[in-house]
Amino acid sequence: MNKKFRKIVMLSLSIIIIFNSMPIFSGDYHFRDYKSYSSQLKQTMTTPNIIIMIGDGMGPNYEEIASLIEYGVPNGTIMEQSFPYKALYHTETVNGEITDSAAAGTAISTGVKTKKGYVGMDKYGHYLKTILEYLLHDANYSTGLVTTTSIPHATPATFSSHVESRSNEGVIWDQEMSQGIDVLMGGYGTQISTKSTSQIVKDIEFRYGYPVATNITEMYNLSIISDKFVGLFGTKYLPYEIDRNVTTTPSIIDMTKAALNLLTRKSSPFFLMVEGGRIDHAGHANNLTNAVIETIIFEKAVRYVRAFAEELGNTIVIVVADHETCGLVLNKQPVFSNNTLPSKGFSRNENMTIRLQRILQLDASFTAPYHTSWPVHFYGYGPGLEGSNQSIHHLIDIFWVLNKALGCFPVIIDSSFKVIDNILEISLNITDQDDTVNGIIVHITYDNINYEDHFIPVEITSKIVKTDINILPEKDFSFYLEIIDPLSPFNTTYFMQRYTYNSGGDTNPVNTSNNTSLNPKNINFLDSFSYIVVITTFMIIFLIKYIKKF
């Protein structure tokens, strides 16, 4: 073989390798052209800040009794006085059962009913993307979760993780810490608290890259100087407000202020969920004093947020309960021995004494052994919520009201996939409130290197989308979906799946709930791109060298 022929062979092989390393596009889809067309059609994105405040177990009677103790009237709360949109709604699970906080939180965060104990998953165990994840990963929002229970407890978990059992707090913890959420605050949780505080702090700092605050001073300092942080207070949960050491442990008001300090320093809009979780714990314990005090302090946090939102502008505040706990009833209207009410003019201890004396004069009782099916309250304030008082009938409607306020982004509410004879079969149920979805891109990655993009047109009137895609035989792959909607505020990505081809020829689909990195953008496209750049650069140098010798 002469020299010139060898050079031609090498040149041909180089070209083949370069093009083989590049992405493959299938169907009538040209990535850059379509993206450009889509972005030109988009309306100006509506980007209100969103604050959801959840009183866990806070039924209407909790609110009324707390108002009587604090303000001397049954409707004196800031929610009753200053929120223009109000509604009563139901809370049952997909099976019609009385809900728990996992199913209820999932309904709020995803707009889909599910089974008790399920976190961020539908009744079949399929992954459901949450409102926090849409805003964090698709709309570049800053995000935060605050709770008086624990960070991996049911309610915060339903905004940030995906498991079939709320008790699996170790997996929940890992998913929450891996999401890229800017600020998380609460207690340690039942599984995490078995370690020492120093071990937990070290793990968070080195494994997840968060600075950690363990007292109120550190919390406020980090909220001013850091781009992100985790706040760990108490042990398993934060203490009840009546038992709180005010010099070391923050209240729900303190944590809310600190979270807003951090989030408002960023240039992006933000999403914050704040949970008064110990209202529910006090209800389960049939402890009237703690139930009332926790509700009062939660209402004070709402009062702060409502004033903050009005001053900041362009901010939605929603106050809800996930369910009612233990059937709290006021047996008769109280007649108090004196009319002295808590006031800013008194010290914290003086106000607490007044509250305790007034609570002792109540005739109230818990009438149920667990949660009840009693309707609970929705309160809304801010842009885009017009008509929400007519739209809220169930927990799931909270998600859809927010979706509409954000400009109607498309949502997959059910999905399934399987592989048969090298065909990937995908079935999707898409909900888009303004019916403007016109396509889906299926992004496929093989062995973390090469990828394919398949564009599937979608009929605007169609809710169910089914498609078959040819895949390479006997190859492991990952895939995720991107929903194209020219009039949506942002294109939404959905569920990364890993598919493993076993050596025996069987298939083994693995749900995203087992993946600690739930962001579809972390699907190793950077690894693939880096690989392509390196190979292409090497081959260009090689070609230049040999072309010069011709």
Q: State how far the alpha carbon of 525 is from the alpha carbons of 31, 39, 199, in Å.
A: 15, 21, 34
| Dist CA 31 CA 34 (whole Å) | 5
| Dist CA 466 CA 457 (whole Å) | 11
**Which residues neighbour 534 within 8 Å (Cβ) at sequence distance 6 or greater?**
none
Of the residues 14, 67, 101, 150, only one is catalytic, namely 101
The answer to whether residues 230 and 184 touch, using CB atoms and an 8 Å cutoff, is: yes
Angle ∠(318,322,327) on CA atoms, nearest 5: 125
The answer to whether residues 101 and 154 touch, using CB atoms and an 8 Å cutoff, is: yes
| Dist CA 433 CA 106 (whole Å) | 20
| Dist CA 212 CA 200 (whole Å) | 9
- Burial of 256 by CB count in 10 Å (0-12 exposed, 13-18 middle, 19+ buried)? buried
Reply yes or no on whether 101 is catalytic. yes
The answer to whether residues 458 and 447 touch, using CB atoms and an 8 Å cutoff, is: no
Owner of token pair 């929450």? 176
Closest C-alpha to 528, from 483, 491, 477, 485 = 477
DSSP reduced 3-state for 364: strand
Q: State how far the alpha carbon of 326 is from the alpha carbons of 283, 285, 363, in Å.
A: 6, 9, 16
The sign one gets for the Cα dihedral 520, 521, 524, 525 is positive
**232 DSSP β-pair partners:** 186
**150 DSSP β-pair partners:** 187
Active site residues: 101
